[in-house]
Structure 1
Amino acid sequence: MKALLSEIRRNPLLWLLVCVPVVFAAHSMKPEAHTLHFLLSLGAIVPLAALLSHATESVTSKTGDAVGGLLNATLGNLTELVIALAALRAGEYLLVKASVAGAIVANTLFMLGASFLLGGLKHHTQEYNRVSARLQAGLLFLATIALLVPSAIVEADAGAGTAAAAFSQKLSVGLSILLIGAYALGMLFSLKTHREFFGTASHGDGDGEEPWPIGLALGTLAVVTIFVALVSEVFVESVQEAAKTFGMTPAFVGFIVVALVGGAAEMASAFSGARKNRLDLSVGIALGSASQIALFVAPVLVLLSYIIGPTPMSLQFWPGAVVMMLIATLTASLATNSGRSAWFVGVLVLMVYLIFAMTLYLLPPANA
């Protein structure tokens, strides 16, 4: 506990933790102040993300970057899952699908590109395990194909009406089960049967900071993840009304804002790892998180919609979202093909993301 208190005193960013109780108090006393809730929840998620980053780095110092990247991606995606579940219960399927697609694209392009850029600004070139990157990119491509089928082929071959909707629902359930199975087999392949291919290529240069004891790190991970989930509930309740105040469209909010806020914790860890020349950790978090959302979170949301949603949700996304996810996957495959990176590679990847963000801000999709 002394290490945690010392870190809070040393890091001014963590002083923003005061926003955590304030956001809950404001939500209780002024439930209609959506813009205030939005700003306070943003202020609360930032220091929580920093704590999560430090705790995860302490764990990965004991487990290695491959397992650490998976751990961070899993914990980070709990936030996206909580945000999506809150929208799912409310029947806001456009927000659910936009946040899922946005999280995939943000992790694949923004997190990966920013990691390459930040790491490249400090180190001339960086290396990472391209076998692991290829596996994650392959899983992403598989998930994109699964999302493309109900979004394109259903409308082309099944037409419109009740029959087409029923076919889309059945297809979505079947595809969801296949994707979850593929994700489980991918984990078995990388962590069990062929784990010798997924070692760390870069071991980092260190920064003089002592890692926390493993007990403190795991306890901090658990507690901070719970607080991130609770703050995310307030965030998702306020984001739509606050978006109107700031002139943002619903599609931009779901695809860009919710995705970036939901991934703040894992982004902090990825950026920190890149600066410390631990690019295996950064690439593992970015691509691992994106593939986890595409292969696990999205299918689970489809299945849970039959239990907690007002109506079943399908895997049918609007065409623009599918195109962006496909382009993001291909971009990640090209950028990680060599196993080496420099700062300009990050710029190129980030430019693709900025093109998407600008397009959605000016021309949102008409329907889900």
Structure 2
Amino acid sequence: MNLLLKEIRDSPMLWLLAAVPVVFAAAILVPEAHTALFILSVLAIVPLAGLLSHATESVAAKTGDAAGGLLNATLGNLTELVIALAALRAGEYTLVKASIAGAIVTNTLFMLGASFLLGGLKYHFQEFNRASARLQSGLLFLATIALLMPSAVAGADSTSAAAAAQKLSLGLAVLLMAGYGLGLLFTLRTHREIFAGADHTQTGEVPWPIGLALATLAGVTVLVALVSEIFVESVQKAAQAFGMTPAFVGFIVVALVGGAAEMASAFSAARKNRLDLSVGIALGSASQIALFVAPVLVLLSYLIGPSPMDLQFWPGAVVMVLLATVTAMFVTNSGRSAWFVGVLALMVYMIFAMTLYVLPPAMR
């Protein structure tokens, strides 16, 4: 506990933790102040992301970058899952699908590109495990194919197309979850020696004890999820005040804030020349959302949703996910990165963001 208090005392960014109780109090006392709640929730998520970053790095120091990246991606995606479950219960399937597609694209392009850029500004070249990146990109490509199929079936000239798309989505959900589970078995068990990252541990850094790190991970993840719920409830009204479209909010803003904790960890690891951890967080999180979170939401919609949800996304979202996957394959193919490689990925992301801001797609 003393190490945690020392970390908070020595880091000015963590002083913003004072915003956490403030945003909870404001949500109770002035729930209609959407713009203020939006700003306070963002200020609260930033220091929580910093704590999550340090705790994850301490766990990765014990378990290795591959397992550490998977752990961070899993805990970070709990936030997206909690947000999506709330929307699922309310029948807001458009918001659910926008958050899923937006999280995949944001993690694949923004988080990965910014990690390459930040690490490249400090190191001339950086290397990472190409096999791990190629596997995660392959899993993303599998998910993209699965997202294309329901749209193709629904577009058929048939009165039973909707029912067929629903049945197909249910089968695809089970298949994707099985693929994700087998991928974990492959990387963490049967062929784990292929995916071991290089040793980039820097001297002078003392990781937290594993107990403190895990306790911090659990506690901060819960707080991030609670604050994120307040953020989602206020972001739509605040977006109108700032002139943002619903498509831009769901695909860009919610994804960026929801992934703040993972981004803090990925960016910090890149600056410390631990690019295996950064790539593992970025691509691992994207593939986990596509192959696990989205299928789980489809299955849960039969239990808690007003009606079953399918995997039929609007065409623009599928195109963006496909292009993001192809971009990730392109920039990770060599196993080396420099700052301009990150710029290329960020440019693709900014093209998507500008398109959504100016001309939002018609979402079903």
Match of residue 194 from structure 2: 197
Q: 3-state DSSP class of the match of 2:101?
A: helix
Q: Name the stretch that deviates more: 116-125 or 92-101.
A: 92-101
Match of residue 33 from structure 1: 33
Matches of 2:157 and 2:288 in 1, distance apart? 30
Match of residue 157 from structure 1: 156
Give the counterpart letter for 2:156 in structure 1.
Answer: D
Give the counterpart letter for 1:320 in structure 2.
Answer: G
Is 1:296 the equivalent of 2:292? yes
Q: TM-score, normalised by structure 1?
A: 0.97
Is 1:83 the equivalent of 2:58? no
Matches of 1:156 and 1:55 in 2, distance apart? 47
Matches of 1:85 and 1:300 in 2, distance apart? 10
- The structure 1 segments of at least 4 consecutive aligned residues displaced by more than 6 Å after TM superposition are none
Matches of 1:241 and 1:199 in 2, distance apart? 45
Q: TM-score, normalised by structure 2?
A: 0.98
1:157 CA displacement: 2.4
Is 1:210 the equivalent of 2:209? no
Q: Name the stretch that deviates more: 281-290 or 91-100.
A: 91-100
Matches of 1:30 and 1:359 in 2, distance apart? 35
Q: 3-state DSSP class of the match of 1:314?
A: coil
Structure 1 residues 158 and 188: alpha-carbon distance in aligned structure 2, compared to 1, 3 A threshold: farther
Match of residue 267 from structure 2: 271
Matches of 1:90 and 1:178 in 2, distance apart? 26
Q: 3-state DSSP class of the match of 2:344?
A: helix
Match of residue 231 from structure 2: 235
Is 1:182 the equivalent of 2:163? no
1:242 CA displacement: 1.0
1:155 CA displacement: 3.0
Match of residue 252 from structure 2: 256
Is 1:308 the equivalent of 2:304? yes
2:154–2:165 Cα contact (<8 Å) kept: no
Give the counterpart letter for 2:190 in structure 1.
Answer: T
Matches of 1:176 and 1:205 in 2, distance apart? 39
1:87–1:236 Cα contact (<8 Å) kept: no
Matches of 1:310 and 1:363 in 2, distance apart? 30
2:117–2:340 Cα contact (<8 Å) kept: yes
1:206 CA displacement: 1.9
Gaps in structure 1 of 5+ consecutive residues: none
* Alignment size in residue pairs: 364
Match of residue 67 from structure 1: 67
Matches of 2:157 and 2:226 in 1, distance apart? 41
Matches of 1:257 and 1:342 in 2, distance apart? 27
Match of residue 11 from structure 1: 11
Identical residues among aligned pairs (%): 77
1:95–1:250 Cα contact (<8 Å) kept: no
Q: 3-state DSSP class of the match of 2:156?
A: helix
Q: 3-state DSSP class of the match of 1:31?
A: coil
1:308 CA displacement: 1.3
Matches of 1:344 and 1:231 in 2, distance apart? 35
Give the counterpart letter for 1:146 in structure 2.
Answer: A
Match of residue 138 from structure 1: 138
1:358 CA displacement: 0.3
Match of residue 116 from structure 1: 116
1:34 CA displacement: 1.1
Give the counterpart letter for 1:177 in structure 2.
Answer: V
Deviations, residues 152-204 of structure 1 (Å, cap 9, x unaligned): x1133254x5x222111111100000000000000000000111100113x22
Q: Name the stretch that deviates more: 183-192 or 164-173.
A: 164-173
Q: 3-state DSSP class of the match of 2:155?
A: helix
